[in-house]
Every structure is written in C-alpha cells, then in structure tokens.
Structure 1
Amino acid sequence: MLRINWDNLRKSHETPWLILDLVMLGLLLVNLAWLLFDALYGTAVIHQQLENLLPGFTGTYDPIHKNFILVDLVFIAIFFVEFCFRWVVSVVRKEHLRWYFFPFLHWYDIVGLIPLGATRIFRFLRIFSILHRLHKFDIIDLNRTAIFRFFRFYYDVFVEELSDRIVVKVLSDAQKDISAGSPLVDDITRQVLAPRRPVLTEWVAGVLNHFGQSISDGHYGEAIREHVRRSVGKAVKSNEQVSTLHYIPVVGKTIESTLESAVTDIVTASIINLLSDIDARKIDHFVEAGLHDYTPVTDDLDKEVLGVINECLELVKAHVAQQRWKTELAEKNRPVPDAGIENQTKGPLE
C-alpha cells in the first residue's frame, strides 16, 4: 500500500510542491476523464443511449461537445502556466546545468499541451513524473506497491533479454571475424604495443635498476647472493682444473675457498652493475638488434592466441546468456518452510 512519509515530507520542504502536485493531479484526472467521456459521447451508440436515458443532458452537452476544444484550452492554459512556474523555479534553484535543459527533460509535458488526440495521451506521463518526484524525496516508497514491483520485474526482464542478445550477437560477430583470419595479433602488436614501446622499455629498465639496487643492499640482496654463492660453488667444485687445487698440501683448500669466494663476489658485482647500468635506450637497442633475425613459427603462436581469445569470448557469452531473471523468479516462488513443521520433524536428541 502506498503511504506518505510525513517525516521525510517535512524534512524535504516539499509540502507546497506536494499540494501543487495533488491539485494538478486532480485537474489532470478530471481533464483525462472528460476527454474520454467526450470521445465516447461522439460515438453514435453512446449518444443514442444518453438521448434515451437523459434527453435533457444531451441537449445541454451538445454545444460543449461541438466546442470542446475551448474547454480543453482552459486546462491547457492552466497546465502551461504551471509548467512555466516550475521552469522558473528550476532556474532559480539551479537544478540543471543550463536554464534551457528543463523543457528538454520534461518534453512530455510540452507534447501533452498540444490539443490533438494523439498527443493528449502524453498527459498520462505527468502522473508518473509526480510519483517519481515523490519517490525521489522518499516521501512515498513505490517499492512497496505490488503494481510497481510487477512492472519493474518485467521491465528488468525485457532489458536483460534485449541486452543479452545484443551482447551475444556482437561477440559472435567478433568470433567470426577472428575465425576468418582477422590479423588481430598483428594489429595488437602494431597499433597497441608499438606506440607504447618507449613507456614499456622505460618501465623494464626501472624494474631492472630496482633489482640491481635490491641485490646490492645488504638485507634484501642476501637471497640472491646466497643463490649465486651456491651456483658458483657447485660450478667450482665440478670444474676439473679447480678441483685439483685441494691436492696441494696445506693451502689447497684455502686457495679453493678463496677462489670460490672471489668468483662469487665478481659474479654478484657483475649482475649488480649490469642491472644498475641498463637503461631504456639499451633495452630498445636490444629489441631492435637482438631480435632482428629471430623468426619463430608465428602461425602456431597466432593460433594459440586466437584460440585463447575465442575461448574467453565463449565464456563471456555463456555468462551473459544466463537468464538471471528466471533464478530470481524461482527464488520468489520458493515456498518458505514452516518453523513449527521443522521442529516437529526433528528428533528429541537433535
């Protein structure tokens, strides 16, 4: 049931507007009812029935029916004055970015002022605009009305079905273009990655420099140095020439340990210098010169990349095609179990 929240009405200071809306709503209902009656009065069946039942009424109403456009113009004049008044108030309140936005946003009011049969139907929209304004200020709550929930649900169903089919159609067309041999990978490389190459090389250089600084740090670089120490130690011990040093009496193991430590420091320092000295220009030069003669089997790579893209699109289509409104409808129609029945079915030890 539709109820008015009087507390929110007082806080919003919309009481004068509510009174104006109710007055205009009453005039609008009278005008629409009169329009419907006059249209029915113009039919031969209704006119004949009224002549038989109320002969005096038809004689009085015939002049009004013939000049009903003048009666409608009185209502139109009232609606037009009220529209201009709201326009002025909206400009004073600065409700819109431009003063001329108001008539564009309330176009249905202007169209409804045209005294034609096809345009008078737009006066019905004034009722919805009044309800929407009251709902916006939390003066009334349309969500509690069964009619609003009914139309809201089927509106969401319509929008979901329409948008899902459009998205699935777009994705299917994209899959057809990819399957037909669309040079997607080449376009990504040429149009997306190539213009951003300076930024990418700068980023890679910054990451490598940061790694070099981290290795040189005594605390954060200990893991790298330990790994280098183990690798060098393994390489030194597996080397036949170096492994003969431990046969030297007294100093053999000392020389081998010193050599291992020296090589570890040299390799670690070389890695630090390499990572610290590298910059974006060197990386860019490496990409141009180092990969210049590299010719991999690009067809297999393209197929794999396009296959991944196609599978991703299939997953997106499957997710979009899910009719979530059916799930919501099933949850709404699911019967709620009675707590008393559940307690009766439980055993004494449960």
Structure 2
Amino acid sequence: MAQQDSDQNSKYNYVNPSSKFFKLFLVYDIFMVFIIVFNLFCLGMNFFLMSNIGAWFFNTIQLPSVLEFYRTHLHPWVIITEAWFIIFLIAELAVRWFLAIVQKHHARWWFFPFIHWYEIIAIIPHFRFLRLFRAGIIAYRLHELGYKVVPDNLRIKALFYYRVVMEELSDRVVITVIDGIRHELDTSSSHKKIIHDLVDHHRQLFTITLASMLQESLAVALQQQEPAIKQKVGLIVNQAIEDTPELTQLLRLIPIVGGRIEQQIQSIGQRLGENISAGLIEPFTAGSLQKPNESYQLIAEKVSELNIDNHYLEELVESVVYESLEAIRKQVKVKQWQQMLEEHDQLDKKAE
C-alpha cells in the first residue's frame, strides 16, 4: 500500500498539477477505476445468471426467456470481452513498467512487478477480485488529491465496515492466543523455566535499572530532607544530654562555670549530631544517573542476585500474568465499532 502510494506520488510529481498531462493522468486513473468496477460487475452478474440460483430466480419471476436470451447471445460476448480486457491489462502493465524504467520510478528496473504484484496476479481469472484492490488504491489516491471519486457517505460506511471486519478478525486472533497461553500455563510447568531464564537473562539490566532508580529517587529525597534530618538528629543529641542526670549533676558541682559548660556541651553535641548525620547521608547523595554511587550499586547487585526459586514468588508472578491476560482479554472483547455506532445513533437523536 505504502509502496503503491509512493509510486503514485512519484508519477504525479513528474507532472505539473496545472498542466494538461496532470489532468490526463487523473482522467486515466478515473477511467481505470470505472472499467475495473464495470468489468467485475459484469463478471459477477454473469456468474449469477449462469448459476442454478439465477435459473431459479428467473423461473420464479416467470422470465425464463430473458435468461435464455442472455445465455445464448450475451454470455459469449462477456467471455470475449473478458479475454480482451485481460489482454488490455497485460499491455497496460507492460507500458507502465516501461515508463517506470525510463523515468526511474524505482531503484532497480525489476522492482516494478514485485511492488505491483497484485496487478499481475489479478490478470489470472481465478484472482480477478484483486482488480478491485487496485481500483481502491487509485480511488484512495484521488481522494488524497482532493477528488471525491467515492461519495463521503459511501466512503464512511465502507471504512466503518472495514474496521468492523478487521476488529472482529483481530479480536478472534488475540483471544485465541490468550486462551492458548492460559492453557499452556495451566497444563505445563515449562513456563517456570522460562520465567527463571528470563530473570537470569535480565539480572544485569535489573541491577543497572535499580541503581539508577535509587540514584534518581532516594538520593534526591535525601538531599531535600538533609537539613531536616540534621536538625532532628542534633535536637535528639541535645535532648539526650539534657536527659542524662549524671552529667548535669557533675557539671553543677563546678562553681560559676558549670552552667556555661553544660550549655556548651549541649551545643557541641547538637552540632556533632548534625555533622554525623551529614556524613552518613553524603555517601547516599553522591553520584549521578549515568554513574550511581557505590552504595546503590551494591544494593542493586544484592537485590538482583536474590534466588527466585521461591513458592510464594512463583505464585505472585503467576497471579500477575493471569490477571494481565484477563485484563487484556476483557479489553479486546470490547467492541469498539459498537461504541462508535451507539455514539453515532446518539448524535442522530440529538440532531432530530
């Protein structure tokens, strides 16, 4: 699809939008859309009229003579027309390939048949439906250029039903895969080995990540709380000195300067507590995200080396996996197209 768009873009880029050649390209694309749709319509009607269902329908409406006339006189012309149309498609594809080589639309001359594979396969009678794919691409390209080949109402409805089909198909695939995973978890123990291998494979990355997280969160928090921690520790040391009666009694035995010495000791103790707190905090605030400090690296290494062969840990992992799968399953089962349809109906009711 993207390659086809790029090819269409390159084709139009060689032509001035205001020139006659550009308009000629547009007319040609519109003509191709028309004859492809008309050809498929004729083949579809031919299939219906030549089938037993067609015979039953015309016998029911009592017009067997009309069906007999078609089968005798018009059917051979449809077959001949289809043969000529196939020849036209082959010639048209060859001319476009030649033009692509001359104008160097692609990096290699032999890229054209691979990029336009659906057009080549559509020449085969059993794969005629791919011609409609080409018509859709041309119509989409014309729509991007501002030419409404397809009416907006029809385009919106077609896009809606396309999304319905794709959503239903994708939902079935996803739900089937989720159910298969749940069945594998219920009936096999191989997932335990997979979990162990997965954890072992990512231990080093887990160490780096954990150290970086500690550096980013804990170090910053310690830096922000450092003044408060120092003050609190200093007050605790000061209060501890005050709550030591032996020291108070001893200092009061010293005449005149005893009270002064007691105050100095309390002040020194408070400052000592603050300095010790700062010294203990400093190793945990050093470093950067690119190079966490050694303390965090050591903590991360020890955590990553934990033995995961633990019954409770396995239950935790299994519970997380099961709940995750169930959550995905519930989300997938939500019909987005139904919600869009309900919203559209509500808008119509408000408009009325």
One fold, TM greater than 0.5?
A: yes
In the alignment, the residues of structure 1 paired with residue 134 and residue 100 of structure 2 have an alpha-carbon distance, to the nearest angstrom, of 17
In the alignment, the residues of structure 1 paired with residue 300 and residue 30 of structure 2 have an alpha-carbon distance, to the nearest angstrom, of 74
Mean alpha-carbon deviation: is it higher for 22-31 or for 231-240?
22-31
Contact 1:246 1:253 in 2 (8 A): no
Structure 1's 66 and 273: CA in aligned 2 closer, same or farther, altered over 3 A? closer
Structure 1's 261 and 243: CA in aligned 2 closer, same or farther, altered over 3 A? farther
For residue 209 of structure 1, report the CA deviation from its aligned partner. Answer: 11
Mean alpha-carbon deviation: is it higher for 276-285 or for 317-326?
276-285
* 1:6 counterpart residue number: none
* 2:147 counterpart residue number: 139
Query: SS of the residue aligned with 1:86?
Result: helix
In the alignment, structure 1 residue 158 sits paired with structure 2 residue 165: yes
Mark the runs of 5 or more structure 1 residues left unpaired by the alignment. 1-8, 216-220, 340-350
Structure 1's 92 and 270: CA in aligned 2 closer, same or farther, altered over 3 A? farther
In the alignment, structure 1 residue 224 sits paired with structure 2 residue 226: yes
In the alignment, the residues of structure 2 paired with residue 166 and residue 122 of structure 1 have an alpha-carbon distance, to the nearest angstrom, of 24
* 1:3 counterpart residue number: none
* 2:208 counterpart residue number: 199
Root-mean-square deviation (CA), in Å?
4.8
TM-score (norm 2): 0.65
Deviations for 1:204-262, whole angstroms, at most 9, x for unmatched residues?
Answer: 685599659x84xxxxx6x4133222124224524688564444232212211212212
In the alignment, the residues of structure 2 paired with residue 198 and residue 230 of structure 1 have an alpha-carbon distance, to the nearest angstrom, of 33
For residue 318 of structure 1, report the CA deviation from its aligned partner. Answer: 1.3
* 2:97 counterpart residue number: 87
Alignment counterpart, residue 78 of structure 1, candidates 66, 71, 88: 88
Deviations for 1:183-202, whole angstroms, at most 9, x for unmatched residues?
Answer: 2653442122x142563476
In the alignment, the residues of structure 2 paired with residue 202 and residue 32 of structure 1 have an alpha-carbon distance, to the nearest angstrom, of 65
In the alignment, the residues of structure 2 paired with residue 327 and residue 191 of structure 1 have an alpha-carbon distance, to the nearest angstrom, of 43
TM-score (norm 1): 0.66
* 1:342 counterpart residue number: none
* 2:340 counterpart residue number: 328
In the alignment, the residues of structure 2 paired with residue 124 and residue 271 of structure 1 have an alpha-carbon distance, to the nearest angstrom, of 72
In the alignment, the residues of structure 2 paired with residue 257 and residue 96 of structure 1 have an alpha-carbon distance, to the nearest angstrom, of 84
* 1:344 counterpart residue number: none
Contact 1:134 1:140 in 2 (8 A): yes
Alignment counterpart, residue 20 of structure 1, candidates 10, 13, 28: 28
Deviations for 1:41-71, whole angstroms, at most 9, x for unmatched residues?
Answer: 9x9x99x958x989xxx8xx79x949965x6
Contact 1:205 1:280 in 2 (8 A): no
In the alignment, structure 1 residue 308 sits paired with structure 2 residue 320: yes
For residue 87 of structure 1, report the CA deviation from its aligned partner. Answer: 2.9
Count the aligned residue pairs.
310
Deviations for 1:117-171, whole angstroms, at most 9, x for unmatched residues?
Answer: x34554444443432332232211646133x333332221121122122222323
Alignment counterpart, residue 168 of structure 1, candidates 175, 188, 204: 175
Structure 1's 328 and 107: CA in aligned 2 closer, same or farther, altered over 3 A? same
In the alignment, the residues of structure 1 paired with residue 213 and residue 45 of structure 2 have an alpha-carbon distance, to the nearest angstrom, of 79
In the alignment, the residues of structure 2 paired with residue 23 and residue 273 of structure 1 have an alpha-carbon distance, to the nearest angstrom, of 77
* 1:110 counterpart residue number: 120
Mark the runs of 5 or more structure 2 residues left unpaired by the alignment. 1-15, 59-63, 252-257
Contact 1:245 1:253 in 2 (8 A): no
Structure 1's 31 and 230: CA in aligned 2 closer, same or farther, altered over 3 A? closer
In the alignment, the residues of structure 2 paired with residue 237 and residue 165 of structure 1 have an alpha-carbon distance, to the nearest angstrom, of 70
In the alignment, the residues of structure 2 paired with residue 38 and residue 152 of structure 1 have an alpha-carbon distance, to the nearest angstrom, of 28
In the alignment, the residues of structure 1 paired with residue 286 and residue 130 of structure 2 have an alpha-carbon distance, to the nearest angstrom, of 73
Contact 2:119 2:131 in 1 (8 A): yes
In the alignment, the residues of structure 2 paired with residue 195 and residue 22 of structure 1 have an alpha-carbon distance, to the nearest angstrom, of 60
1:167 maps to a residue whose letter is V
In the alignment, the residues of structure 2 paired with residue 103 and residue 337 of structure 1 have an alpha-carbon distance, to the nearest angstrom, of 52
Deviations for 1:286-325, whole angstroms, at most 9, x for unmatched residues?
Answer: 6667998x88993223323432332233222212211121
Query: SS of the residue aligned with 2:349?
Result: coil
Contact 1:246 1:256 in 2 (8 A): no
1:78 maps to a residue whose letter is F
In the alignment, the residues of structure 1 paired with residue 33 and residue 351 of structure 2 have an alpha-carbon distance, to the nearest angstrom, of 45
Residue identity (%): 21
In the alignment, the residues of structure 2 paired with residue 291 and residue 336 of structure 1 have an alpha-carbon distance, to the nearest angstrom, of 59
* 2:200 counterpart residue number: 190
Contact 1:79 1:113 in 2 (8 A): yes
* 1:346 counterpart residue number: none
Structure 1's 202 and 19: CA in aligned 2 closer, same or farther, altered over 3 A? same
